[in-house]
Amino acid sequence: MAAVAALGMIPAARAFAAASDLRSAAGEAWLYGLPWIEMAAARDRMLNGRGGQPAGRNSFGHARNLVDASGRTITSPNNDTLYSSAWLDLTKGPVTLTVPPTGDRYISLAGMNMWTDNDFVLGARTTGGGGGRYTIVGPGQAGSGPNVVRLATAHGWLLVRTLVDGPADLPAVHRIQDQLKLEGPAGLPPVKTYATRQSPALEYFASLAELLVSDPPPATDGAVFGRLGPLGLTAKGAFDPKRFDAAAVAELEAGVADAKKAIQGFRPGGSAQGWTYPRNTLGYFHQDYVFRAAVALVGLAALPPAEAMYMQPVAEQGRIFNGAGPYRMHFPAGQLPQVDAFWSLTMYQPTSDGQFFLVENPIKRYAIGDRTQGLKTNADGSLDLWIARSDPGGEKSANWLPAPPEGPFSLSFRAYLPRPDFQDGRYRLPALTPG
């Protein structure tokens, strides 16, 4: 099966190969549908004010402070930008987006469809810092109005990231947020709360079927649904939970378990010098469904590599560190990350179901990077970052990124507007080494 081939790089792929047709179809369908499920769950949390990331429906909600360890709305948040969010409903027609001038400040406005592709990214890289008005058009709608951009689904997420250069810069960013506007039909509220990735298989697939009706997949996904015949799930959402007896439900649950196992520890791309680098399909996944599902789980709303690159270290257990440390990241003189916006290294604590959130620590430092106040370079111009469970002391303290005092942790290195030599591999990050 093509699904097995797609999973070939994952050790758990053998579970799919040995599975029954129904079990195999359930596993593939669970992975295929995870982006819709995760987007619906994020929409539900944000529109209902749970988790600290506000959003509006065809209107913006704004986070006024940088995310800290209390933020649990979206996996793998950054601590570099303020988020502004709007959940789009284009069922009644297009909406008009107004973006204020932002000058040289980094800003991106990503329009994501319900299967998590970035259909458009406006802002510093693509449209510049002069601001403007844009018409966001849904499927089948006429492309009239200023600067038309299209969303492939009638519902989606408009996520804005605006760079903050320290606490004193917050008022200036708030002024930008206050000038972001959406105008158009109010849209309809989501009619229900859908199943989540933890839900029983029948509930999960029933919700997925409803979401496929609300926001159909592209025609280019037809081959997937050809393989899902035993499950009875179609591109038009048909799914009848009543047709499954207890033995069949057990097969469905086994297939879902296979899928969850397959996605654990999934590597997003190739590795070099102790870091994994993103695939070029990140943020616009085409038919790379397993990769898309993995990103929906651990990095929902990831941007494409031209906008941002996300690197994870190769650690003792996949990307997870369990050691006492400390760890050192040494940048030789003249070899800092090649970016046109900013870079940062963020500390995360993993959850049992594979998500990542910021770590509470005594100095309230959740990330370290090119805007961190007080970083100290060495006499030869090189830079050392120290990742440690406790203050490494002395000169190292200024360059300390705190890890949790015990338990597993992980890291993510972000490079926004990476230069061509970063994108094509001529520049590589230095490995983390025991300190």
pLDDT at 318: 87
Residue 192's pLDDT band (cuts 50, 70, 90): confident
pLDDT at 190: 66
Q: Residue 415 pLDDT > 50, yes or no?
A: yes
Q: Fill in the amino acid letter for 198.
A: Q
Q: Residue 1 pLDDT > 80, yes or no?
A: no
pLDDT at 5: 30
pLDDT at 50: 82
Residue 15's pLDDT band (cuts 50, 70, 90): very low
CA within 13 Å, CB half, 136: 36
The residue with tokens 């509470």 is 360
Q: Residue 430 pLDDT > 90, yes or no?
A: yes
26 and 200 Cβ atoms separated by less than 8 Å = no
- What is the token pair recorded at 274? 């102790």
301 and 326 Cβ atoms separated by less than 8 Å = no
Task: Centre a 10 Å sphere on the Cβ of residue 40 and count the other Cβ atoms it contains.
Answer: 24
Q: Fill in the amino acid letter for 292.
A: R
pLDDT at 115: 98
CA–CA gap between residue 341 and residue 363 (Å, rounded)? 25
Better-predicted residue by pLDDT, 118 or 9:
118
Q: Residue 228 pLDDT > 90, yes or no?
A: yes
Q: Residue 19 pLDDT > 60, yes or no?
A: no
Average pLDDT of the residues in 329-348 = 97
Residue 49's pLDDT band (cuts 50, 70, 90): confident
Highest mean pLDDT among 71-80, 287-296, 316-325: 287-296
- Find out if CATH 3.30.1330.60 is the number for domain 271-434: no
Based on the number of CB atoms within 10 Å of its own CB, is 96 exposed (0-12), middle (13-18) or buried (19 or more)?
middle
pLDDT at 143: 79
- The answer to whether 59-169 and 271-434 have equal CATH topology is no
Task: Centre a 10 Å sphere on the Cβ of residue 47 and count the other Cβ atoms it contains.
Answer: 17
Please state whether 294 falls in left (phi above 0), alpha (psi between -120 and 50) or beta. alpha
Average pLDDT of the residues in 368-395 = 96
301 and 74 Cβ atoms separated by less than 8 Å = yes
Q: Helix, strand or coil for residue 83?
A: strand
Query: Tell me: the pLDDT tens digits for 263-308?
Result: 886 776 789 999 999 999 999 999 999 999 999 999 999 999 999 9
- Report the chain's mean pLDDT, rounded to a whole number: 92
Average pLDDT of the residues in 250-271 = 88
pTM of the predicted protein model:
0.91
Residue 191's pLDDT band (cuts 50, 70, 90): low
The residue with tokens 């996520």 is 159
Better-predicted residue by pLDDT, 119 or 20:
119
Average pLDDT of the residues in 340-350 = 97
74 and 53 Cβ atoms separated by less than 8 Å = yes
Query: Tell me: the pLDDT tens digits for 121-171?
Result: 999 999 999 999 999 999 999 878 889 999 999 999 999 999 999 889 999
Q: Residue 186 pLDDT > 80, yes or no?
A: no
Residue 52's pLDDT band (cuts 50, 70, 90): confident
pLDDT at 72: 86
pLDDT at 51: 67
Average pLDDT of the residues in 214-235 = 96
- What number does CATH give the domain 59-169? 2.60.40.1610
Domain ranges of the chain: 2-41+192-263, 59-169, 271-434
Q: Residue 18 pLDDT > 50, yes or no?
A: no
